[in-house]
């Protein structure tokens, strides 16, 4: 039996800091100031789960009374850097909640927020988000668009402008009709990836044929998978990242995305407009990376435009040349409801600006999935059994196969509970609300902190354990009925939730499905080949199991 060992990193550096602000170490509790009496509009049910820290005899406490982590934002920022909290933001949030209770205020550099973690508070926050929900703006990105006079996409827009673009994008990437169209493209990439891994073990693995083993760090491969899959759906083109020598253009694009992501966190907390004015290297590197990402999108748009012109010349429909779906970009261009500038802005954001979302966020949860399946062989076996049965019954239809394997969906949900990629989901309520019996004025930036939520014993039974089945059992359903359903928020919520959610979920599920079912696929082939191979004693096998090795590596056996 061959095996491929996969080194899986710890949680450090595995999630991005863009959705959150940093708690800091020197904690202080606030001194009571004004107590706002009486009920506030929208405050119904705000006290929910968790212990109310303030409020006596139904009185609502003032905003100033919310426990906080230090009033001076610049002092906090320095402490933050000194203690290297940027890399462990989720842990610091968890510690701060443990110390200060289920709500606290934070001021770091130029950023102020209120942080919460209980589902009942989160539900109250989302009930007050209004028709045009507003998140924390990633100012360095917005400034890049403004200084280069480029249009913004949905990620950076707000208000009616955001809503108009978003409704059009939903039709192309969120609605089930759209999922049906792009699923075969994702399936093709996932299947190629699985084959590429098998070939690699064959080629580079150690040991006897039929028992090869290979140890690799899967992150670059998973990153390439995520990028290849997203490009295929968005541009309808394969960019060839699985080949042994990816094109220079693709390599430059990957470099630019990495550079843009790496230079974002420091600029978030610093006065980046000042850095821009003085031509500081942090700003120049950030803007240059974005310029490159935009020119990559421009080149793709030109190519799709040429392809469309030539296929229209031949009388074919652009978005579905010869009945075949050719990607989101073609669809948007063909429909012509968005200007070319807006298409470019939105496609660029979907591609790279879907934040460290789009391209690499699916790679990180996939890595953790391999890790958890590796150290939970029983769970792995249940997932595998379900996938195999479903795959066999689906007759090659990937959508049917996914629908028949709810444990696969539960696996991804469970991974994102334990290892959320975005640290927080933020909203600015459009009216005053009451959270944990504190008054929160309209327009306050409130962060729902996903890591402490996912690991809370008040919210999840045995939260440290990996149980994909918890999302389908009746007890969890019962909890939802009681109104505490705001527990799975990795993709955000409501009208402003992640627009790439369907792409990401299906991309991840298909990859795990192909890795798990390749044994079953190959078994069919094996049966045919066995007779021939018997003479040579060669026996082919697919992936057999993902297991943990003694040194903490996840290992895919073939």
* 199 token code pair: 């070939």
Handedness of CA 452, 458, 459, 463 (dihedral sign): positive
Which one, 141 or 283, has the nearer CB to ligand HEM?
141
449 is in an annotated binding site: no
Asked if 529 and 386 count as a contact pair (C-beta separation under 8 A), the reply is: no
Nearest to 333 by CA among 316, 321, 319: 319
Q: Cβ of residue 486: shortest distance to ligand HEM, in angstroms?
A: 12
E strands in 332-462: 424-427, 433-435, 438-440, 446-449
Q: How far is the CB of 437 from ligand HEM (least distance, A)?
A: 25
Backbone angles phi, psi at 546, to 5 degrees: -105, 125
Nearest distance in Å: CB 17, ligand HEM: 13
Q: Interface with ligand HEM by CB under 6 A: which residues? A: 135, 154-155, 166, 230, 349-350, 354, 357-358, 361-362, 365, 416, 421-422, 425, 490-493, 496-500, 503-504
- Count Cβ atoms within 10 A of the Cβ of residue 89 and give its class: 0-12 exposed, 13-18 middle, 19 or more buried: buried
State the nearest-atom distance from the C-beta of 508 to ligand HEM, in Å.
7
Nearest CB to ligand HEM, comparing residues 272 and 502: 502
Q: Measured from the CB of residue 300, what is the shortest distance to ligand HEM in angstroms?
A: 14
Residue 422: DSSP 8-state = B
From residue 229, how far is each of 288, 357, 418 by CA, in Å? Answer: 25, 14, 24
Q: Does residue 425 contact residue 493 with C-beta atoms inside 8 Å? A: yes
Pairwise CA distance, residues 229 & 232, whole Å? 5
Q: Which is nearer to ligand HEM, 79 or 157 (CB)?
A: 157
Element (H, E) at 554: strand 554-557
Give min distance, CB of 435 to ligand HEM, in A.
18
The 3 state secondary structure assigned to 347-362 is: HHHHHHHCHHHHHHHC
Cβ at position 133, least distance to ligand HEM in Å: 7
Helix (H, G, I), strand (E, B) or coil at 142: helix
The position carrying tokens 């979920």 is 505
Q: How far is the CB of 426 from ligand HEM (least distance, A)?
A: 7
Q: Which is nearer to ligand HEM, 219 or 230 (CB)?
A: 230
Query: Among residues 166 and 470, whose Cβ is nearest to ligand HEM?
Result: 166
Name the residue nearer to ligand HEM (CB basis): 60 or 169.
169
In contact, 128 and 42? CB cutoff 8 Å: yes
Confirm if 348 and 155 have CB atoms less than 8 A apart.
no
In whole angstroms, the minimum distance from the beta carbon of 290 to ligand HEM comes to 15
Closest contact distance (angstroms) between CB of 270 and ligand HEM is 23
**Residues comprising the chain, all counted:** 558
Torsion of CA 387, 418, 460, 440, to 10 degrees: -130
Q: In this complex, which beta carbon is closest to ligand HEM, that of residue 55 or of residue 485?
A: 485
Q: Which is nearer to ligand HEM, 117 or 350 (CB)?
A: 350
Q: Which is nearer to ligand HEM, 250 or 488 (CB)?
A: 488
Burial class (CB in 10 A: 0-12, 13-18, 19+), 176: exposed
Looking at the DSSP bridge assignments, the partners of residue 448 are 116, 425
Q: How far apart are CA 30 and CA 53, in angstroms?
A: 12
Q: How far apart are CA 290 and CA 261, in angstroms?
A: 10
- 125 in Cβ contact with 446 (< 8 Å): yes
287 or 503: CB nearest ligand HEM: 503
**Binding-site residue positions:** 498
**Binding-site residue positions for heme:** 498
């Amino acid at each position: 039996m061959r095996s491929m060992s996969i080194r899986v990193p710890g949680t450090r550096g595995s999630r991005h800091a863009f959705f959150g602000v940093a708690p800091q170490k020197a904690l202080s509790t606030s001194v009571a100031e004004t107590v706002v009496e009486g009920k506030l509009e929208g405050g119904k049910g705000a006290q929910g789960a968790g212990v109310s820290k303030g409020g006596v005899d139904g009185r609502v406490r003032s905003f100033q009374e919310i426990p906080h982590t230090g009033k001076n934002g610049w002092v906090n920022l320095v402490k933050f850097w000194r203690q290297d909290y940027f890399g462990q933001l989720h842990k610091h949030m968890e510690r701060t909640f443990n110390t200060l209770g289920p709500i606290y205020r934070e001021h770091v550099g130029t950023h102020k927020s209120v942080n919460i973690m209980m589902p009942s508070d989160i539900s109250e926050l989302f009930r007050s988000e209004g028709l045009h929900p507003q998140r924390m703006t990633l100012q360095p990105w917005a400034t890049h668009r403004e200084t280069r006079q480029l249009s913004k996409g949905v990620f950076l827009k707000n208000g009616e402008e955001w809503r108009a673009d978003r409704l059009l994008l939903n039709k192309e990437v969120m609605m089930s009709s759209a999922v049906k169209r792009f699923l075969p493209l994702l399936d093709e990439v996932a299947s190629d990836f699985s084959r590429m891994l098998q070939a690699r073990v064959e080629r580079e693995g150690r040991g006897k044929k039929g028992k090869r083993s290979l140890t690799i760090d899967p992150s670059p491969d998973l990153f390439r998978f995520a990028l290849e899959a997203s490009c295929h759906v968005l541009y309808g083109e394969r960019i060839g990242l699985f080949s042994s020598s990816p094109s220079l253009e693709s390599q430059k694009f990957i470099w630019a995305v990495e550079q843009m992501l790496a230079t974002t966190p420091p600029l978030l907390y610093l006065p980046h407009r000042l850095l821009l004015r003085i031509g500081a290297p942090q700003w120049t590197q950030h803007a240059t990376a974005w310029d490159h990402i935009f020119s990559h999108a421009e080149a793709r748009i030109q190519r799709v435009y040429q392809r469309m012109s030539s296929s229209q010349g031949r009388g074919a429909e652009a978005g579905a040349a010869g009945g075949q779906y050719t990607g989101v970009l073609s669809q948007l261009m063909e429909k012509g409801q968005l200007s070319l500038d807006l298409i470019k802005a939105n496609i660029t954001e979907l591609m790279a600006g879907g934040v460290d979302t789009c391209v690499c966020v699916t790679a990180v949860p996939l890595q953790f999935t391999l890790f958890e399946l590796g150290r939970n062989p029983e769970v792995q076996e249940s997932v595998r059994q379900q996938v195999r049965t479903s795959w066999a019954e689906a007759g090659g239809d990937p959508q049917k196969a996914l629908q028949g394997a709810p444990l696969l969906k539960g696996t991804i949900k469970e991974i994102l509970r334990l290892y959320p990629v975005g640290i927080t989901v933020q909203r600015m309520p459009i009216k005053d609300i009451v959270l944990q019996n504190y008054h929160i004025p309209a327009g306050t930036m409130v962060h729902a902190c996903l890591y402490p939520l996912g690991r809370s014993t008040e919210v999840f039974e045995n939260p440290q354990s990996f149980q994909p089945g918890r999302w389908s059992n009746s007890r969890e359903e019962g909890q939802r009925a009681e109104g505490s359903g705001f527990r799975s928020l990795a993709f955000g919520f409501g009208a402003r939730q992640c627009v790439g959610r369907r792409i990401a979920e299906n991309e991840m599920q298909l990859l795990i499905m192909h890795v798990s079912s390749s044994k079953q696929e190959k078994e069919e082939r094996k049966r045919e080949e066995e007779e021939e191979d018997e003479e040579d004693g060669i026996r082919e096998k697919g992936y057999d199991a993902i297991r943990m090795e003694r040194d903490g590596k996840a290992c895919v056996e073939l």
